[in-house]
Amino acid sequence: MTSAISNSSNQPLELTRKSLIKALEYDDLTIPVLPKIANDILLLSQDPNADIEVLSEMIHHDQAIASHVLHISNSAAFGGFGRVDSLEEAVARLGLQLLSEIAVSVSIQKNIFNIPEFKEEISDLWSHSLGSALFAKQLAFYARQNPDTLYLCGLLHEIGKPVTLFTINNLPSDIKDGLEKKDVLQLVEEFHMSVGTIVTRQWELPEVIQIANLYYKDWENAPRFRVETVLTYLADQLSTATLKGGVSDIEEVLKSELFDSVSIPESKLEKLLDFAETVTEKVNSMNG
């Protein structure tokens, strides 16, 4: 009798799990489309001859991004000690690369990290992704890697999590009715790596981002871009320690031998404790 009750109570979880497995097997997941403006900015940011005026024009056409860029440019975390009141001034203050990062981040947040039913969980995921992106960029400087690429690796390394939530949220009611929040979060942990692989492939993101997404917890088996994958993992760990822990947690991450494996000297590690404060300020500013 107890077993029957247990099986019955787990039915929504099992039905949802089976639906996700089937969707993965048949490549039938409903993946949100990468916003056009985000895709356009990504392409522009990778163009060595990119013109900041072109980026400014793109942003002008998206009021949500424009207002967010203006807000961020006035925050102390981004050097906003003198107020700017126009997008043109904000563009001049932030510069092409930083402006690209902010615009892409805001666009993805608005379109992908936006599931009202899981507002708190999505907010935490987004903060963690931003923190990871900021740490990844800083680690890239220390390891002499491409900071722009590593920013995107950090920002998108757990993109499978919100998309898995999105997928579950859009399943038919007869499958997910009775599914508890803890069960949903369990399924997100189970499936986000597989879902993330499909997302980064369908979005046609650079191969380095696809590999970092799939292998950041399994860097030893990364077929290529091992340094970038390790840096993404370290950024993930530092983001968690900074936003969910404290100084002692950050210090524990900094003891990892992986820093030496990517040629980051100990003198640089000491600076990451101070940088952690900057990350917290910037994440709060970009969430504002």
Q: What is the mean pLDDT of residues 120-124?
A: 90
Question: At residue 45, what is the residue type?
Answer: S
Radius of gyration of the chain, Cα coordinates, nearest whole angstrom: 20
* CB atoms near residue 162 (< 10 Å): 27
How far apart are alpha carbons 204 and 223 in whole angstroms?
A: 18
Percent of the chain at pLDDT > 90 equals 50
* H/E run at residue 182: helix 181-202
What three-state secondary structure class fits 271? Answer: helix
What does the block give as tokens for 40? 């356009």
* CB atoms near residue 139 (< 10 Å): 28
How far apart are alpha carbons 107 and 278 in whole angstroms?
A: 22
pTM over 0.85: yes
How far apart are alpha carbons 36 and 152 in whole angstroms?
A: 16
pLDDT above 80 (res 3): no
What confidence tens digit (pLDDT) does each residue in 180-190 have?
Answer: 889 999 999 99
For the ranges 16-30, 58-72, 97-111, the one whose mean pLDDT is highest: 16-30
Residue ranges and CATH numbers for the domains of the chain are 34-111 (no CATH), 117-288 (1.10.3210.10)
Residue 233 banded pLDDT, cuts 50, 70, 90: very high
What confidence tens digit (pLDDT) does each residue in 58-96 have?
Answer: 888 888 888 888 888 887 777 666 777 777 888 778 877
Q: How many residues does the chain have?
A: 288
- Is the Cβ–Cβ distance between 90 and 70 less than 8 Å? yes
Give the per-residue pLDDT at 183.
92
pLDDT above 70 (res 7): no
